[in-house]
Chain A
Amino acid sequence: MKDLYKLDLRVLTVREMSAPRRVTWMHIVTFAFATAISYVLGVVSSLIFPVLGAPGVSALYVAAAIYVPLGVWMGAWGALAGYVSCFFLGLYPSGYSVIQSLIWSWADFIEAIVPAAIFRLAKVDPDFTAKRPWAAKLLPLFISMGTALLFIGIVVQVLWGAKYGEPFVTFYVYSVYIGTALALIGIVLGLIAGHAKTWIAHILGIIGASVLSGLWGAGSLTYFNLPPPLPAELFWPVFVGWVLGDLVVLSVIATALLVALTPVFKRTGLYVKGWWA
């Protein structure tokens, strides 16, 4: 069954190169429904796992596990689903104004577009088949913990280490070493889990998405917006909470969904090679 599936893919690739690609109703409807699911999950996550003081920001934003994989599967549609769902989340239940929401929502757009871009620019055809399932299961733990430690270490150094020196510098050094080691183990696990290019692209996507979306998200809530709903002093707590939460959700849940549903998206013809079709 697997061999035949692979054979079909190769035939499809040859045929697809000559057939024009267009946006169909399937793309539109999938996008609309994915946006709706992301919105519902976003509301639930921000109410159950809030980052207190920052409405709409969740310590475990499960909605990201929908639109980020959707970005991998369907390119810009995933990013648009992230944007629109976040916009409505901003209005209810977060209570942000229309303009604040319009600006803030780019965070989720960025979160989905980064992995989508990595896969497309590196021309990686996603294949999440786990040749070594144990490696695929351990990978999220190492990547999320390693990146989290590395991230926290950097934040501590930026905020206090440069200004005050020890003991913050020591903390920074240890977290960088340990975090990097854990992340490297995660990368090795990714290389042996299955299709190496896919897993490495995915790992980079998780890290890039979490950090960059966190920067915009926390920044637009505290530094730049019209106006920022929260004081600038809250940037670092919100930023750290955002990034750590995203790392967990994307490495655990998004990975599970990508493994489970990538074959489905491909065999149903929903998978988008380009950005829109």
Chain B
Amino acid sequence: MPTILRELTGIEAASTRYMGLHVATKILIPLFLSISILFTKDPLAAISLIVISALTCKLAGIPLSAMKKYVVVIGSMTSFIALSFVLFAHLPGRVFYEATLLRIEAEKGVFEWKILVTDTALSYAATFIARIFAMVLTAILLLGTVTDRDFVWGLRSVGLPFGACVAASLFFRGIQLFVSDFMTIREAMSARGVDFERTSLARRFLLYANALIPLLSLMITRSYEMSLALEARGIAPSTRAKAVYHRFAFRRRDLGITLTYLAVMMAFILWWLLW
């Protein structure tokens, strides 16, 4: 069963033991880790969280090459965070480097825009950057271990009506359908003489905007046909029925693992409180 991450990026969790956990466990683990991020205020705590998150991904069988998909994100966030602490904030501490970029003699004083690199700024930047790694790992963990089916039947098991369950399923189906539609529409535009490669960025922007019209028209046509098919099934969006077919037994190991990660989260909270 493909996970959300597999559908989006082609990366898949390999551990069948982890994948066999209850869907609530698979959602709670990244949730506890992401709450822990809130309580990491120093580089050491952040690095500890990174290690725990990375180990959990390893246990789940998610290859760390999944991080490659986030390289651009991590790279841009990292550099911009570092820049923000040196360009937009003047944090006290030992000054390593200082340079004035812009100086304006204003009416009520001197406006200066400086680069100021201090040890405090670097420490803050390091913490933020480390937290980003932890964030990315928890996101990968969630997407890499929760399948779209888990998501859909998870909603059913908590008693939500069929409307919610079908909507969730159609969201995942819709992603595939519309990527394919978008490519076909782009192709159809090319067939009519549109040259996307040799067009200015502005014109390309407008052409892609043009492509949204058939995309939405198709969406409406599909919605119409699919809703007729759903009406014919004898279920209404508000229909609720007990989820009898798929059994989600919350076993002892689910309880054990959930409590373990709850303890990890509490440990980070304590760390934050005490240090």
Q: Is B249 an interface residue (CB 8 A)?
A: no
Q: How many residues of B contact A (CB 8 A)?
A: 80
Tell me whether B132 and A95 are in contact (CB under 8 A): yes
Tell me whether B163 and A265 are in contact (CB under 8 A): no
Query: In the bound complex, how far is the Cα of B236 from the Cα of A65, in angstroms?
Result: 30
Q: Which of B145-182 contact A (CB under 8 A)?
A: 163, 166-175, 177-179, 182
Residues of B within 8 A of A268 (CB): 220, 224
0/1 interface trace, chain A 156-179, chain B, CB 8 Å (1 if under): 000010011111110000000000
Q: Taking CB as reference atom, which chain B residue is nearest A95?
A: B136
Contact A31/B167 with A40-B178, A231-B84, A231-B89 known, Cβ cut-off 8 Å:
yes
Contact A25/B227 with A95-B132, A234-B84 known, Cβ cut-off 8 Å:
yes
Q: Is B8 an interface residue (CB 8 A)?
A: yes
Q: How many residues of A contact B (CB 8 A)?
A: 65
- Distance (whole angstroms) from the CB of B224 to the closest CB of chain A: 7
Tell me whether B215 and A270 are in contact (CB under 8 A): no
Query: In the bound complex, how far is the Cα of B208 from the Cα of A168, in angstroms?
Result: 38
Q: Is B209 an interface residue (CB 8 A)?
A: yes
The interface of chain B, by Cβ under 8 A from chain A, is 4-5, 8-9, 30-31, 33-35, 37-38, 69-70, 72-74, 76-77, 79-81, 83-85, 87-89, 104, 106-109, 111, 124, 128, 131-132, 135-136, 138-139, 142-143, 163, 166-175, 177-179, 182, 205-206, 208-210, 212-213, 215-217, 219-220, 222-224, 226-227, 230-231, 236-238
Known pairs A29-B166, A97-B34. 16 more at Cβ < 8 A? A36-B177, A37-B178, A53-B84, A60-B205, A65-B209, A92-B4, A92-B69, A93-B69, A160-B111, A166-B106, A166-B107, A167-B106, A168-B106, A168-B111, A230-B128, A233-B88
The interface of chain A, by Cβ under 8 A from chain B, is 23-37, 39-40, 47, 50, 52-55, 60, 62, 65-66, 84, 90-100, 160, 163-169, 226-227, 229-231, 233-234, 237, 252-253, 256-257, 260-261, 264-265, 268, 270
5 CB < 8 A contacts A-B:
A26-B224, A37-B216, A65-B212, A163-B109, A231-B89
